[in-house]
C-alpha cells in the first residue's frame, strides 16, 4: 500500500500525528500547547536560544552528506558488521514479512519517529512549569547528532539491504520515491549508530522521567516499534541498534543533568523581589 508519494505527504501526515500526540499528551487542547510554545519563543530569550540551537544542529545534519561527498575517505566497514551478524536482519524480515506490518512500520519509521520529538517539545512546554523537560529534550537531541555525525563521516556502514542480497528494502512498497524524496535526510552509509534507535530511546527515557504517564506509555510503545522497524525494513544492523541504545541512554542522562544545571542556576535569589525575578525569568 502506497502511503507517501512525496515529502508533502510526509509533512501532512506528520502535522496530523503531532496534533493528535499533543492532544493526548496534554489531555486537552493541542492548540493551547502550540500557543504556549510560540509564546515562550517570544517572551523567553533562553527558550528561543535553545530551540534555535536545536534547529541549527538539525541543519548541520542535513548537510552532513554534502560534506561527506567532498571528503576523500575510502574505508567502509560494512563487511565487518556482516561477518559478525550473519543473517540476523534477513531472518527478522523473512519471519515477519506481511503487507500490513510493512505499511504500519514504514509509517512509524517515517512519520511517528519525528512526530514524537516535535510533540515532546510542545507537551513539555505546556505541562512543565520549570520547562526542565523542554531543555533536557533540546540538549539530548543535540547530543545525539553531535556524537553520531563523526561516526557517519569516518565510520561508514551501508544499510543492510544495499549489501545483503537476502534483504529487501521494504520501505519502497509504501514510499516508492524514498530514494529521491527522503534519501537526502538519511545517508545510505550513515548506519552506525542508529539515530532512529538512539533518538527513540532518548525520547522514551525522557518521557519516563517527565512524570507524564500517558505520554511515557505511548512513547515507549512506539520506541519499541521503531527499533523493530529498522530490522524489518532492512535498514540497520543489530550492532547499529546496540550503538544507538547506548547513545540514547547517554544523551538522555546528560540532557537531564544539563537541564538540571539550568534549573539550579535559575533558582530565585531570596533577596530578589518577586517582580524582578519574574522579569529575569522571562529572559
pLDDT digits (tens, 9 = 90+) for 100-110: 999 999 999 99
pLDDT value of residue 230: 98
Q: What is the pLDDT of residues 217-276, one digit of tens each?
A: 999 999 999 999 999 999 999 999 999 999 999 999 999 999 998 766 655 544 444 444
pLDDT value of residue 265: 60
* Helix or strand run (H / E) with residue 283: none
CB crowding 29-51: b at 16 or more within 10 Å, else e: ebeebbebbeebeeebeebeebb
Whole-angstrom distance, CA of residue 158 vs CA of residue 96:
23
Residue 53 CA from chain centroid, whole number: 16
Whole-angstrom distance, CA of residue 233 vs CA of residue 270:
56
| Assigned domain for 28 exists | no
| Assigned domain for 244 exists | yes
| Assigned domain for 33 exists | no
For 178, the 3-state DSSP assignment is: helix
| Residue recorded with cell 510554545 | 37
| Assigned domain for 144 exists | yes
pLDDT value of residue 127: 72
Q: Does residue 273 contact residue 227 with C-beta atoms inside 8 Å?
A: no
Q: How many domains, the chain? A: 1
| Assigned domain for 36 exists | no
pLDDT value of residue 280: 42
Q: Name the percent of the chain in helix, strand, coil, to the closest 5.
A: 75, 0, 25
pLDDT value of residue 15: 97
What pTM value is reported for the model?
0.90
Whole-angstrom distance, CA of residue 54 vs CA of residue 96:
37
Segments of the chain with pLDDT less than 70: 62, 65, 69, 128-130, 263-283
Domain that holds residue 225: 1-9+84-268
The residues, ordered by sequence, that sit 6+ positions from 152 with a Cβ below 8 Å of its Cβ are 64, 68, 187, 189, 190
For 187, the 3-state DSSP assignment is: coil
Mean pLDDT, the chain, integer: 90
| Assigned domain for 120 exists | yes
| Assigned domain for 70 exists | no
**CATH code, domain with 218:** 1.20.144
For 190, the 3-state DSSP assignment is: strand
CA angle 12, 201, 251 (to 5 degrees): 110
Whole-angstrom distance, CA of residue 137 vs CA of residue 206:
7
174: left (phi over 0), alpha (psi -120 to 50) or beta: alpha
Phi, psi of 187 (to 5 degrees): -65, 145
Whole-angstrom distance, CA of residue 148 vs CA of residue 146:
6
pLDDT value of residue 240: 98
Whole-angstrom distance, CA of residue 204 vs CA of residue 201:
5
Residue of 94, 129, 98, 118 whose CA lies nearest to 231: 94
| Assigned domain for 108 exists | yes
The residues, ordered by sequence, that sit 6+ positions from 122 with a Cβ below 8 Å of its Cβ are 18, 22, 25, 26, 30, 33, 34, 36, 37
pLDDT value of residue 282: 45
Residue of 37, 62, 57 whose CA lies nearest to 47: 37
pLDDT value of residue 196: 97
Amino acid at each position: 500500500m502506497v502511503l507517501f508519494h512525496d515529502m508533502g505527504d510526509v509533512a501532512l501526515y506528520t502535522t496530523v500525528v503531532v496534533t493528535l500526540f499533543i492532544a493526548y499528551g496534554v489531555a486537552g487542547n493541542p492548540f493551547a500547547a502550540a500557543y504556549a510554545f510560540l509564546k515562550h519563543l517570544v517572551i523567553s530569550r533562553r527558550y528561543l536560544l535553545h530551540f534555535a540551537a536545536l534547529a541549527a544542529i538539525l541543519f548541520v545534519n542535513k548537510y552532513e552528506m554534502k560534506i561527506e561527498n567532498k571528503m576523500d575517505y575510502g574505508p567502509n566497514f560494512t563487511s565487518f558488521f556482516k561477518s559478525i551478524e550473519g543473517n540476523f536482519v534477513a531472518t527478522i524480515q523473512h519471519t515477519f514479512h506481511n503487507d500490513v506490518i510493512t505499511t504500519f512500520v514504514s509509517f512509524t519509521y517515517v512519520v511517528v519517529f519525528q512526530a514524537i520529538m516535535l510533540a515532546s517539545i510542545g507537551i513539555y512546554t505546556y505541562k512543565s512549569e520549570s520547562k526542565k523537560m523542554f531543555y533536557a529534550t533540546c540538549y539530548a537531541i543535540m547530543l545525539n547528532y553531535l556524537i553520531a555525525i563523526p561516526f557517519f563521516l569516518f565510520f561508514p556502514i551501508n544499510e543492510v539491504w544495499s549489501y545483503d542480497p537476502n534483504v529487501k528494502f521494504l520501505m519502497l512498497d509504501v514510499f516508492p520515491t524514498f530514494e529521491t524524496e527522503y534519501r537526502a535526510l538519511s545517508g545510505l552509509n550513515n548506519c552506525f549508530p542508529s539515530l532512529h534507535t538512539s533518538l527513540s530511546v532518548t525520547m522514551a527515557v525522557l518521557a519516563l522521567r517527565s512524570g507524564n504517564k500517558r505520554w511515557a506509555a505511548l512513547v515507549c510503545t512506539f520506541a519499541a516499534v521503531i527499533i523493530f522497524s529498522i530490522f524489518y525494513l532492512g535498514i540497520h544492523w543489530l550492532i547499529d541498534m546496540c550503538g544507538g541504545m547506548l547513545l540514547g541512554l547517554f544523551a538522555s542522562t546528560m540532557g537531564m543533568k544539563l537541564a538540571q544545571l539550568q534549573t539550579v542556576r535559575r533558582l530565585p535569589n531570596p533577596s530578589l523581589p518577586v517582580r524582578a525575578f519574574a522579569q529575569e525569568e522571562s529572559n
